[in-house]
Amino acid sequence: MLPVKMCISASAASRIIFQCLRFYCQKPPKKLRICEAVSSSDMGTNVKVQGWVRSVRHQKQNLFLHVNDGSSLQSLQVVASSQLNHRLLTFGSAVEVSGLLVKSPSRRQEVELQANQIHVVGECNPVDFPFKVKERHDLEYIRQFPHLRCRTNTFSSLLRIRSEATTAIQLYFRDKGYVQVHTPVITSNDCEGAGELFQVEPAFQEKQEEDGGQPFFSVPAYLVVSGQLHLEVIAGAFPGVFSFGPTFRAENSQSRRHLAEFFMVEAEISFTQSLEDLMKVMEEMFRSTTEHLLAQCPEDVALFHKHVTPGHNDNVDLMMKSSFNVITYTEAIDILNRSSQKFAFETDWGCDLQTEHEKYLVKHCGNIPLFVTDYPYTLKPFYARDNLDKPLHTVAAVDLLVPGVGELCGGTLREERLDLLKTRLALAGLDETYRWYLDLRRFGSVPHGGFGMGFERYLQCVLGVDNIRDVIPFPRYSHSCLL
Amino acid sequence: MLPVKMCISASAASRIIFQCLRFYCQKPPKKLRICEAVSSSDMGTNVKVQGWVRSVRHQKQNLFLHVNDGSSLQSLQVVASSQLNHRLLTFGSAVEVSGLLVKSPSRRQEVELQANQIHVVGECNPVDFPFKVKERHDLEYIRQFPHLRCRTNTFSSLLRIRSEATTAIQLYFRDKGYVQVHTPVITSNDCEGAGELFQVEPAFQEKQEEDGGQPFFSVPAYLVVSGQLHLEVIAGAFPGVFSFGPTFRAENSQSRRHLAEFFMVEAEISFTQSLEDLMKVMEEMFRSTTEHLLAQCPEDVALFHKHVTPGHNDNVDLMMKSSFNVITYTEAIDILNRSSQKFAFETDWGCDLQTEHEKYLVKHCGNIPLFVTDYPYTLKPFYARDNLDKPLHTVAAVDLLVPGVGELCGGTLREERLDLLKTRLALAGLDETYRWYLDLRRFGSVPHGGFGMGFERYLQCVLGVDNIRDVIPFPRYSHSCLL
């Protein structure tokens, strides 16, 4: 801080003279990110920072700014003589500040910047700017401004968390020797989730007509609903493979858990014969990613747990210190039928579990993640491995349900037995379409299985965010595709 | 190796007895990946490996197999008594082998597995299987079998390299403090690259009609041609951001350098005022990724440099030991005009550089990567920063051209000056459409710039692969969308 009293001690005066001398004699200021500046122990260094103003406070002789550059949640306090004030120095404006890093006299921060130069790089009219200084806008409000919401503390924390979670998941799989596969977005597979497919065609039909009316790809092409079948192809030559990318559903839904474009982590493991193996990977991935996030982004996660969903850290603690529960689908139906709660949807054996059921089951089992295994044969797609347990007749499928969200992951052992798969595909009239898939079982077939995790739902679960649109940079859903 | 001679020495006999005893007394075999087994120093351990048979050789008393599981290019040599032979033990079949890891008597490998059990998990009819034992099929042949080509050595090497290059790029940006952003695939921006857009609609039109004929997103929606504009949004609150994901062009091309769906690495850097800053990041990223690949996948890269494009390692060496060249567009045009070579396309100032020009320029400048800067204003999109150098009139744009491939990266400083951008957009009639983009300049605008790199072209450049379809797991191009 600049001296506020006019009469200063001799030692203070000499210190100021020394600092001024130092400033004029030394090399150009060292450019630092804000995260480096606030954690620096290099007091007296001449530095330059660049960022956006988060607050401005004038006193008679001094000017206090907080400058943030997105390198961390923390802003750097800048202290300057009020002579450096400028009418364009407002909340939201972009600035470049040079000066000396000094120990802050305040307990609120270790370090502050004594500015000797402040340059407003880009102005920001506070009347037009939709966010207001020192106001904590809620997620719904900031969602209206997809091109600006990253400039709020909450959303910039979310983006850092999302980036770090991406790294954590990729590191988890890499450490275990999985190969990352870029499964395609455009596919000619049209059978899975048929009712919810997006179709792809060149925007300008003239082109097609020149081409004799043939579709661009010669066959109808869609956006993938899952990379699983493509991952299974590659799993035919590797011990384990994974993908991490966008998937699509043309679902006409305004729910808080669905998007038309969302990210999926999918893994496929060769030579796997038990659901336990799959559950182990799902649980380990969840834990290792969450541990990584809590360790690498403690302040960003704390912002959510303090201001967005107060108390949610207790839920996360509970999930992290407990082993995940496991019940069969049959046990789940039994629990639902013995419950006194009235459900909107039926709970007969053979019915699919609805969100209300999933949430009840998770609560009933102690509010920690819950695996539900061995679903009815008729509920799961053709590739699910038959448990051959007639008359019950189930398949080796497992869903992971988590507090607040419901279904987070879904996985199955895949039917690797050529004869069984062939019969099932033939019954559905799909044996010609999936000839290539049958080939995978014809040439060096191995027992294998895999799962997919909705990445946005994972973030909802860990951060406690209610609406899925608030955990993705550019949400797409029916009637909305902004930017 | 099992003893071939019938009369064996006493010490050999006792060693065999010891090994048998050891086998029966000890715990179940330790499951190892092939990459762990071939590099193990733990001789005498009882292990189990799983994988696919790459070769089978029978001798009178012995059977030799090579088993590969995709964990590395290397296969494990398995030696077994011929009694363990089985008619289903063929090239391509999946096996599980248990036995003792021993030092190999051959110089070809350090370790081999003395099998006491071989289980054929999945058969593979060698007549129907499109790949033949010990044949090196060329890339064009294996491309016909997109669901099986990962089972060849070449393509499994490619997949490991691709995975490792993905990691390397992400680590490069993470280490430099960039935040990874998942830019969307579906977008309502329709202006950039207008002629080559894919449009997206739900596959089942009934749905739409129920909905009063409105498009699913209420506005026409397309597949992104670049994540740049979305990255620019996020760069408005961070020092640096990057994305790594699929992008799309409905280009009716059968070229060796184009795909309808390809991966792009894009970066956007805030507070950047010079093309030098951008070039530094491009060059550093190229070098650090390539160094990582050469260090982490030496055998896989060597397979390409030895068998697919013999001698290409010399080209890579040259690129790695030289500083990249820099010339302006104006200098490039001058070089082309002074050349004795006849070009199919014009080389007047103002004309776009074609592949033939790019390749000539790279060769002319020593066959190392070449930056070309400051392109004519009329050649680049609206967001390129005006150099205000009339009458020449150029923009701050830079392309990186590389040997064999041509354009690898393209970048620009972005026009951050509101008035200039507004005028340019208004002239193109786009000021209403890009109101949100203008907002980015209205509120805390900073000088910034960025670039995109075609990931497949990067792999072509480093591996020397001629056809882009051979460096992506599931290539999509006009008239082809297999699986």
pLDDT in tens, B367-376: 999 999 999 9
CA–CA dist B369, B352 (Å, integer): 19
Nearest to B203 among A179, A222, A441 (CB): A222
Question: Smallest CA–CA separation between B108 and chain A, in Å?
Answer: 23
Q: Measured between beta carbons, which residues in chain B are less than 8 angstroms from residue A440? A: 147-148
Nearest to A159 among B121, B204, B234 (CB): B234
> Does the CB of A128 have a partner CB in chain B at under 8 Å?
yes
> Does the CB of A219 have a partner CB in chain B at under 8 Å?
yes
| Chain A residue nearest residue B120, CA to CA | A444
CA–CA dist A282, A279 (Å, integer): 5
User: What is the DSSP secondary-structure string of B177-229?
Assistant: TPEE----SEES---TTGGGPEEEEES-HHHHHHTTT--TTSS-EEE-S-SHH
- Substitution target from A75, A96, A238, A468 for chain B, most B beta carbons within 10 A: A238
Other residues' Cβ atoms within 10 Å of the Cβ of residue B118: 22
Does the beta-carbon distance from B184 to A236 stay under 8 Å?
Answer: no
What pLDDT was estimated at residue A4?
A: 37
Q: Starting from the edge strand earliest in sequence, which strands make up the sheet with A448-454, in order?
A: A179-180, A240-248, A261-270, A448-454, A406-413, A394-402, A370-376, A325-328
Nearest to A218 among B203, B229, B479 (CB): B479
- Write out the H or E segment, with its range, that includes residue A171: helix A153-175
Question: Which pLDDT tens digit goes with each residue over A379-414?
Answer: 999 999 999 999 999 999 999 999 999 999 999 999
Query: Is the Cα dihedral B339, B342, B347, B348 positive or negative?
Result: positive
Q: Is residue A442 classed as helix, strand or coil in its secondary structure?
A: helix
What pLDDT was estimated at residue B328?
A: 98
| Chain A residue nearest residue B36, CA to CA | A177
pLDDT > 80? residue A344: yes
Q: Is residue A257 classed as helix, strand or coil in its secondary structure?
A: coil
What pLDDT was estimated at residue B254?
A: 86
Does the beta-carbon distance from B151 to A237 stay under 8 Å?
Answer: yes
Q: Measured between beta carbons, which residues in chain B are less than 8 angstroms from residue A93? A: 444
CA angle A460–A463–A468, rounded 5-degree value: 25
Domains in chain A with CATH codes: 30-122 (2.40.50.140), 151-202+215-470 (3.30.930.10)
In chain A, pLDDT over 90 holds for what percent of residues? 87
> Does the CB of A93 have a partner CB in chain B at under 8 Å?
yes
Contact B85, B63 (CB under 8 A): yes
Nearest to B167 among A170, A185, A187 (CB): A170
Question: Which pLDDT tens digit goes with each residue over A83-93?
Answer: 999 999 999 99
Nearest to A122 among B53, B121, B446 (CB): B446
> Does the CB of B414 have a partner CB in chain A at under 8 Å?
no
Bridge partner residues of A394 (DSSP): A376
Question: Which pLDDT tens digit goes with each residue over B456-481?
Answer: 999 999 999 999 999 999 999 999 99
Does the beta-carbon distance from A216 to B179 stay under 8 Å?
Answer: no
Nearest to A473 among B222, B234, B236 (CB): B234
CA–CA dist B158, B469 (Å, integer): 12
- Substitution target from B33, B90, B182, B480 for chain A, most A beta carbons within 10 A: B182
Q: Measured between beta carbons, which residues in chain B are less than 8 angstroms from residue A66? A: none
Find tokens 């050529």 and name the residue. A418
Nearest to B184 among A71, A184, A261 (CB): A261
Identify the burial level of B423 via C-beta atoms within 10 angstroms of its C-beta, where 0-12 means exposed, 13-18 middle and 19 or more buried. Answer: middle
| Chain A residue nearest residue B246, CA to CA | A185
| Chain A residue nearest residue B175, CA to CA | A167
Q: Measured between beta carbons, which residues in chain B are less than 8 angstroms from residue A200? A: 198-200, 223
Question: Smallest CA–CA separation between B360 and chain A, in Å?
Answer: 32
Contact B17, B81 (CB under 8 A): no
Kind of pairing between the strands at B30-31 and B46-58: parallel
Does the beta-carbon distance from A182 to B246 stay under 8 Å?
Answer: yes
Does the beta-carbon distance from B52 to A150 stay under 8 Å?
Answer: no
Bridge partner residues of A199 (DSSP): A222, B201
Nearest in space to A191 (alpha carbons), one of A377, A379, A434, A441: A434
Does the beta-carbon distance from B229 to A201 stay under 8 Å?
Answer: no
Q: Measured between beta carbons, which residues in chain B are less than 8 angstroms from residue A236? A: 148, 150-151
What is the ipTM metric for this complex?
Answer: 0.93
Does the beta-carbon distance from B445 to A147 stay under 8 Å?
Answer: no
CA–CA dist B413, A357 (Å, integer): 53
CA–CA dist A167, B171 (Å, integer): 9
Does the beta-carbon distance from B439 to A50 stay under 8 Å?
Answer: no
pLDDT > 50? residue A172: yes
> Does the CB of A205 have a partner CB in chain B at under 8 Å?
no
Question: Smallest CA–CA separation between A151 and chain B, in Å?
Answer: 5
Residue ranges of chain B with per-residue pLDDT less than 50: 1-8
* pLDDT band at residue A252 using 50, 70 and 90 as cut-offs: confident
**Tokens representing residue A164 in the block:** 């770090």
CA–CA dist B416, B386 (Å, integer): 10
What pLDDT was estimated at residue A135?
A: 85
What pLDDT was estimated at residue B212?
A: 65
What pLDDT was estimated at residue A8?
A: 47
Identify the burial level of A111 via C-beta atoms within 10 angstroms of its C-beta, where 0-12 means exposed, 13-18 middle and 19 or more buried. Answer: middle
Q: Is residue A57 classed as helix, strand or coil in its secondary structure?
A: strand
Contact A304, A296 (CB under 8 A): no
Q: Is residue B57 classed as helix, strand or coil in its secondary structure?
A: strand
What pLDDT was estimated at residue A282?
A: 98
Q: Which CA distances in Å does B300 have to B71, B74, B139, B164, B303?
A: 11, 9, 15, 11, 5
CA–CA dist B247, B472 (Å, integer): 13
**Tokens representing residue B25 in the block:** 């007394």
> Does the CB of B236 have a partner CB in chain A at under 8 Å?
yes
Find tokens 């790019």 and name the residue. B358
Question: Smallest CA–CA separation between A402 and chain B, in Å?
Answer: 24
What pLDDT was estimated at residue A254?
A: 86
- Write out the H or E segment, with its range, that includes residue A402: strand A394-402
Does the beta-carbon distance from B96 to A252 stay under 8 Å?
Answer: no
User: What is the DSSP secondary-structure string of B457-475?
Assistant: HHHHHHHT-S-GGGSSSS-
* pTM, rounded to two decimals: 0.93
Nearest to B443 among A148, A223, A233 (CB): A148
pLDDT > 80? residue A195: no
Q: Starting from the edge strand earliest in sequence, which strands make up the sheet with B325-328, in order?
A: B179-180, B240-248, B261-270, B448-454, B406-413, B394-402, B370-376, B325-328
What pLDDT was estimated at residue A163?
A: 98
- Tell me the pLDDT of chain A averaged across its residues: 92
User: What is the DSSP secondary-structure string of A76-107?
Assistant: EEEEEEGGG--TT--TT-EEEEEEEEEE-SSS
DSSP 8-state symbol, B414: B
Query: Is the Cα dihedral B158, B163, B166, B171 positive or negative?
Result: negative
Q: Which amino acid is at B404?
A: G
Q: Is A212 left (phi over 0), alpha (psi -120 to 50) or beta?
A: left
Query: Is the Cα dihedral A211, A212, A214, A218 positive or negative?
Result: negative
Contact B434, B440 (CB under 8 A): no
CA–CA dist A282, A479 (Å, integer): 34
> Does the CB of B185 have a partner CB in chain A at under 8 Å?
yes
Other residues' Cβ atoms within 10 Å of the Cβ of residue B311: 9
Bridge partner residues of A49 (DSSP): A97
Q: Determine the distance from the C-alpha atom of residue A297 to the mean position of all C-alpha atoms in its chain, rounded to a whole number.
A: 13
Question: Smallest CA–CA separation between B424 and chain A, in Å?
Answer: 19
Question: Smallest CA–CA separation between B28 and chain A, in Å?
Answer: 17
How many H-runs (helices) and E-runs (strands) does chain B carry?
14, 17
Does the beta-carbon distance from B245 to A248 stay under 8 Å?
Answer: no
Nearest to B230 among A183, A440, A474 (CB): A474
Question: Smallest CA–CA separation between B216 and chain A, in Å?
Answer: 6
